[in-house]
Amino acid sequence: MPDLETRDWKPTRERTLWLAASLALVLLPHAPRMPLWVSLGFVVLALWRIEHVTRGVRLPSRWTRVFLSAAIMAGILASYGTLFGRDAGIAALAVLSGMKLLETDTLRDAYATAFLGFFVIITNFLYSQSIATGLYMLLVVVVMTATLIVINSSQPGLGVRRRLRYAGTLIGQSLPFMLVLFVLFPRIPGPLWGLPKDAQSATTGLSDKMSPGNISQLGLSTAVAFRVEFDGPIPPVSRLYWRGPVFEDTDGRSWTARELQLNRRVPKLRGRNEPVYYTTTLEPHDRHWIFALDVPGTANNAIRISNDYQLLATKRVRQRAQFRLRSYLDARIPVITPEQRSASLALPNGFHPRARALAEEWRANAASVDGFVERALQHFRAEPFFYTLRPPRLIGDPVDEFLFQSRRGFCEYYAAAFTVLMRAGGVPARIVTGYQGGEINPLGDYLIVRQRDAHAWVEVWLEGRGWVRVDPTAAVSPQRIELGMDATLPARIGSAAFGFEPRGPIAKLMRGLNHGWDTVNNSWNQWVPGYGHIRQKGLLGRFGLDASDWRIFALCLSLALISMAWGAGLWLLRRAPISDPALEAYRRYCAKLSRLGIERRHAEGPSDFAERVSRTRPELAQYVRRVTELYIGIRYAKGPHAPLRDLRRAVGAFRP
């Protein structure tokens, strides 16, 4: 019998159009990422089908279709070099959904095509999990649901809007269930099995090699590197040095990091006082680096600390990740190993002769190591050095040319030159890269650190005090350290080109909007794409539940779902409210009589019914007559009639 109910299904024009349109909407965000022929292929196949149902254009024969499918696969192989992996797989799905649309002859085909569409939605999330993507896909789900209604129902004469409205109602009613499932569904840290190689695209960030020019590229990128929420007040901007890769080895031109020794425990620190606790949300950069405030004091299963006090995640940060960190702002690193000492004193032979000579002269004249360091800083302060993101190219010895000729550069230049000077004067020194400062979002009360906040500074070893941070860039351009990158740099390339300073009310407004948007974005990132094992544990913990016990999960989830299903059942299966209050009152009256065994017949009008009741049950005659009179008056009288209230009262006057 169930077969009989679907046997009369036909691939009508309306159904075809809905299917084609919803598939097109699903594939739209993929279009810029796919070769043009894939998008065109889908469009041609979809149009072919539409023309077939509209004008009876012939469909390709079975063999042609087989050939077409093979050609598509060959095309994918030619474009991507593989049939597997994320990008090639999605391109194949896109064209094949067009093929499937072409042969949608039965109800089963139609459902298969629609389900394929649902599946393609999820592939979009592999590229973006932004608010915009989320909202767009919600819209697409509504359209797809409307398509399911059109496929399934043969109810005639419904417009696009009514279909969409009903689909919207269905989705709207599904949202609470979705939320409960989302919050309570147990999250496991880490993937079930390996991810395809192209699951993450290359991302920008700091590099593990430093040579002039690298950081200037980051300097203007407003992309977010990470966001930080402090447990307490946000420390002053000038103290926010986010420690990243440390460079000790140099060949005279570029600087590279040494191999790191990783520790599970935090080595000892000198001068540690009250720690600063904070949560950092790192944008994916496909490296192990975690940028923590200098000096970091966290190590656990997920985080290791290196011998030069860098934090490193045990797994590459391929997705936005959250870390709970602790730092000691006043502490110093008290350790230097013999290897570190020799590495941080080494200078390549034959490089920087003038810088070396200068440093040796200063060292000879200085009474102490401190005086020598101060002398070097004084040099940057007194001489005409300029901070610029577009320094002239250095053709000869990069340090000598910078120190004695160009005198223009940004943090990397200063850090490299300063390190060379220190080493030449016999003081162990190394370059630390990372980020400096950040932008406080007053709305969300958190800090945004962007790629343009990338920075490089120097650490020198002072006997008895440990590694001391020296920022030679600060000697040149103090505001830069006080106020962050925005003060010294044109905020945007565009405004620099037009000579426009971002000040005044419009800039203020723009900044406010920017902060507002970033707050929304940040909350979204924290709670939607960033909702993972840790956050779930924290959330459940607030209700006193232990998220590591699966039984608690099972109990919560089933309790929540059962109670919601019960509520939904009650709500959905309630009688639809009657929009006609007079009729409602009249029905109450009928129901009362029905309790006495007097049923109104289907074809019986109110007057006839009243007459019959009066005849059979004379004691009810007065009541019946009164109600009927009022009801007929309200419903049918042309002139003035008694108010509805009277009818309600009349109906209520009698209790069987």
Partner 1 sequence: MASLNVARIARGIAVAKPGGSTVLTHRRVYVLPTRHGWTFFAVLLAMLVGAVNYNNNLGYLLAFLLGSLGFVSMFHTYRNLAGLSLRLRPGAPAFAGNLAHFVLYLDNREQRERPDLCVSFRRHADDERRTAMVRVHVVRDELREVKLAVQATRRGRVRMGRITIATRYPIGLFRAWSCFESDAEVLVYPSSGGDREIPTHVPEQSTTGGPRARGADDFAGLRNYVLGDSSRRVHWKSAAREQDMMVKQFTGATPHEACLRWAETPQPETEARLSQLCRWVLEADAAGARFSLELPGQTIESGRGHQHVRRCLRALALHGDAGA
**CA–CA distance, 170 with 146 (Å, rounded to integer):** 10
Residue 393: CB minimum distance to partner 1, A: 43
Residue closer to partner 1 (CB basis): 83 or 195 = 195
Report the residue from 79, 106, 133, 222 that binds partner 1 according to the rule CB under 8 A.
133
Structure tokens at 23: 């598939």
384 — phi, psi (to 5°)? -75, 75
Report the residue from 67, 84, 115, 404 that binds partner 1 according to the rule CB under 8 A.
115
Size of the site for partner 1 (CB under 8 A): 70
Q: How many residues does the chain have?
A: 656
- Based on the shown chain and the rule CB under 8 A, indicate whether residue 195 belongs to the binding site for partner 1: yes
Binding part of the chain for partner 1, among 2-10, 287-295, 508-516, 610-618 by CB under 8 A, reads 2-10
- Based on the shown chain and the rule CB under 8 A, indicate whether residue 121 belongs to the binding site for partner 1: yes
Residue closer to partner 1 (CB basis): 26 or 99 = 26
Amino acid in position 514: N
Catalytic-role residue among 288, 411, 453, 518: 411
Helix axes 606-616, 621-636, angle to 10 degrees: 180
Beta bridge partners of 303: 313
- Based on the shown chain and the rule CB under 8 A, indicate whether residue 555 belongs to the binding site for partner 1: no
**CA–CA distance, 283 with 502 (Å, rounded to integer):** 27
Residue 123: CB minimum distance to partner 1, A: 9
Task: Tell me which residue has tokens 């040494």.
Answer: 258
CB contact at 8 A, 329 and 276: yes
**CA–CA distance, 521 with 516 (Å, rounded to integer):** 9
Taking residues 505 to 544 in sequence order and writing x for each that binds partner 1 by CB under 8 A, - otherwise, the string is: -----------------------xxxxx------------
Report the residue from 54, 154, 405, 495 that binds partner 1 according to the rule CB under 8 A.
154
Taking residues 273 to 312 in sequence order and writing x for each that binds partner 1 by CB under 8 A, - otherwise, the string is: ----------------------------------------
CB contact at 8 A, 198 and 87: yes
Residue 444: CB minimum distance to partner 1, A: 20
- Based on the shown chain and the rule CB under 8 A, indicate whether residue 182 belongs to the binding site for partner 1: yes
- Based on the shown chain and the rule CB under 8 A, indicate whether residue 149 belongs to the binding site for partner 1: yes
- Based on the shown chain and the rule CB under 8 A, indicate whether residue 211 belongs to the binding site for partner 1: no
**CA–CA distance, 261 with 387 (Å, rounded to integer):** 35
Taking residues 568 to 607 in sequence order and writing x for each that binds partner 1 by CB under 8 A, - otherwise, the string is: xx--xx-xxxxx----------------------x-----
- Based on the shown chain and the rule CB under 8 A, indicate whether residue 126 belongs to the binding site for partner 1: yes
CB contact at 8 A, 94 and 27: yes
* Burial tier of 428 (Cβ tally within 10 Å: 0-12, 13-18, 19+): buried
CB contact at 8 A, 110 and 151: yes
**CA–CA distance, 235 with 415 (Å, rounded to integer):** 24
Report the residue from 31, 44, 59, 170 that binds partner 1 according to the rule CB under 8 A.
170
The reply to whether 471 belongs to the active site is yes
Report the residue from 64, 153, 314, 342 that binds partner 1 according to the rule CB under 8 A.
153
- DSSP 8-state code for residue 429: E
Residue 230 is inside which H or E element, if any? strand 224-230
- Tell me the three state secondary structure of residue 261: coil
SS (H, E, C) 179-215: HHHHHHCCCCCCCCCCCCHHHCCCCCCCCCEECCCHH
Report the residue from 12, 54, 69, 155 that binds partner 1 according to the rule CB under 8 A.
155
117 contacts: CB under 8 Å, gap ≥ 6? 19, 22, 23, 26, 97, 144, 147
Residue closer to partner 1 (CB basis): 281 or 433 = 281
- Based on the shown chain and the rule CB under 8 A, indicate whether residue 319 belongs to the binding site for partner 1: yes
For 248, 417, 462, the CA distances from 427, given in Å and listed in that order, are 13, 14, 8
CB contact at 8 A, 273 and 328: yes
* Burial tier of 593 (Cβ tally within 10 Å: 0-12, 13-18, 19+): buried
- Based on the shown chain and the rule CB under 8 A, indicate whether residue 193 belongs to the binding site for partner 1: yes
Binding part of the chain for partner 1, among 91-99, 172-180, 204-212, 392-400 by CB under 8 A, reads 172-180
- Based on the shown chain and the rule CB under 8 A, indicate whether residue 637 belongs to the binding site for partner 1: no
Which residues, numbered 323-342, are part of the site for partner 1 (CB under 8 A)?
A: none
- Based on the shown chain and the rule CB under 8 A, indicate whether residue 134 belongs to the binding site for partner 1: yes
Taking residues 463 to 482 in sequence order and writing x for each that binds partner 1 by CB under 8 A, - otherwise, the string is: --------------------
Amino acid in position 25: L
Catalytic-role residue among 308, 352, 455, 518: 455
Residue closer to partner 1 (CB basis): 151 or 359 = 151
- Based on the shown chain and the rule CB under 8 A, indicate whether residue 191 belongs to the binding site for partner 1: yes
Q: Is the bond preceding residue 276 a cis peptide, omega within 30 degrees? A: no
322 contacts: CB under 8 Å, gap ≥ 6? 279, 280, 281, 282, 526, 530, 532, 534, 535
Binding site residues, partner 1, CB under 8 A: 1-2, 4-8, 107-108, 111-112, 115, 118-119, 121-122, 125-126, 129, 133-134, 137-138, 141, 145, 148-149, 151-156, 166, 170-171, 173-178, 181-182, 185, 187-188, 190-193, 195, 199, 319, 528-532, 565, 568-569, 572-573, 575-579, 602
> Catalytic amino acids?
411, 455, 471
